[in-house]
Homo-oligomer: A and B are copies of this chain.
Amino acid sequence: MKSYARVLVMGYGVIGKRVADAVVLQDDMKLVGVGDVSSDWRIKLAQKKGINVYAVGNDAKEKMEKSGIKVEDTVESLLKSGAVDIVVDATPKDIGARNKETLYKKYGVNAIFQGGEKAEIVDVSFIAQRNYREALGKKFIRVVSCNTTAIGRVIGGLHEKIGIKKARVSIIRRAVDVWESHSTGIMNTVVPESSIPSHHGPDVKTVVKNLNIVTMAFKGSHNLFHMHSGFIEFNRPISKDEVLNVLNAEPRVSLIAYKDGLMGLNSVFELSRDLNRPRGDLYEVPVWSDLMKVEDNELYLIWATGNESIVVPESIDAIRASLEIEEEPEKSIQKTDKTLNITKSLY
């Protein structure tokens, strides 16, 4: 059990840079630095912001220094020195698993992985409001992906409090992240994920273990946020008020209204930019309260998912759980939410 976490963020990409900024805001954490292999504008901007930069390997160190970046040391030397308690690994898929073997286990540091990694490589998959206690003291924790996190937040509470018989969710994903300009983008089409169910359903079950859920997923021709439609069948008849009460009590879930002009992912994105947060990020899952319909045992529900940012508060909570800095889930969640200005009522 620690009272303080010295954190290294590995991979300064979409998630990593956001986690790094969030770590800086915590009074029980210190950002030791970021580890990367890149020499592009992102790392240069990190350095300009005063963040220490570490290189993964000597080759990368040399290249980064050649491009004018001041590299403190290699990540390996840093970890060896004992100056890091925990790593948040936000590197691309599968690299985290490799880093676990070659770096984190070797030097005895805890690590938080992202949803791109397999559940098998960690001790526990994690959504703060669902299974924080299960993650207490665990060396390797995986924060599940943005879509899985959103489903876990929205559906998990309904399952705990009312009891879901079966959830069916169809997901329209963003095609690429905003910064990407390479070949994975799509235009003027909709592309189904190649397996049914999509990986999200099984992934939610790594956290909400007894949930009966099936998901189908599609890529849409857009790069801002995901859209989810849920057909959620309960074990008994429910009322809309009951659903609203559960969602209102759920952290990091915010009700929004179509009648207030929030008519699509674009207007939700604009709202999130108006909240004056870094990068216009949206950490909450916005659920349309007036696009909700209840019929007997079943709820039809629509929510959006800020793919770049909703796992950021989860990563912060995962650090506290792993190092047992805080044993009470509510306390960690509240602390994180306060520092990131996360709110139940967005407007």
Q: From DSSP, what is the main secondary structure of chain A's interface residues?
A: mixed
Q: What is the number of residues of chain A that contact chain B, defined by CB distance less than 8 Å?
A: 42
What distance in Å separates the Cβ of A204 from its nearest Cβ neighbour in chain B? Answer: 16
Query: From A224, which residue of chain B is reached at the shortest CB distance?
Result: B188
A332→B232 CA distance, assembly (Å): 41
Contact A216 B192 (CB under 8 A): no
What distance in Å separates the Cβ of A316 from its nearest Cβ neighbour in chain B? Answer: 29
A197→B295 CA distance, assembly (Å): 10
A189→B271 CA distance, assembly (Å): 14
Which residues of chain B are near A258, meaning CB under 8 Å? 192, 194
Judged by a CB distance under 8 angstroms, whether A107 is at the interface is no
Contact B229 A231 (CB under 8 A): no
A227→B188 CA distance, assembly (Å): 12
Within 8 A of B (CB), among A211-251: 214, 216, 218-225, 227, 229, 231
Contact A196 B292 (CB under 8 A): yes
A282→B120 CA distance, assembly (Å): 44
Which residues of chain B are near A221, meaning CB under 8 Å? 188, 220-222
Q: Which of B216, B267, B302 contacts A196 (CB 8 A)?
A: B302
What distance in Å separates the Cβ of A194 from its nearest Cβ neighbour in chain B? Answer: 6
A172→B1 CA distance, assembly (Å): 49
Per-position binary interface string of chain A over residues 268-307, scored 1 when its CB falls under 8 Å from any chain B CB and 0 otherwise:
0100000000000000000010011101001010100000
Which residues of chain B are near A214, meaning CB under 8 Å? 231, 295, 298, 300
Which residues of chain B are near A197, meaning CB under 8 Å? 293, 300
Judged by a CB distance under 8 angstroms, whether A24 is at the interface is no
What distance in Å separates the Cβ of A181 from its nearest Cβ neighbour in chain B? Answer: 14
Judged by a CB distance under 8 angstroms, whether A103 is at the interface is no
Which residues of chain B are near A172, meaning CB under 8 Å? 172, 190, 218, 220
Q: Which of B190, B264, B298, B302 contacts A189 (CB 8 A)?
A: B264
Contact B189 A300 (CB under 8 A): no
Contact B186 A266 (CB under 8 A): yes
A231→B214 CA distance, assembly (Å): 9
Judged by a CB distance under 8 angstroms, whether A170 is at the interface is yes
Contact A218 B227 (CB under 8 A): yes
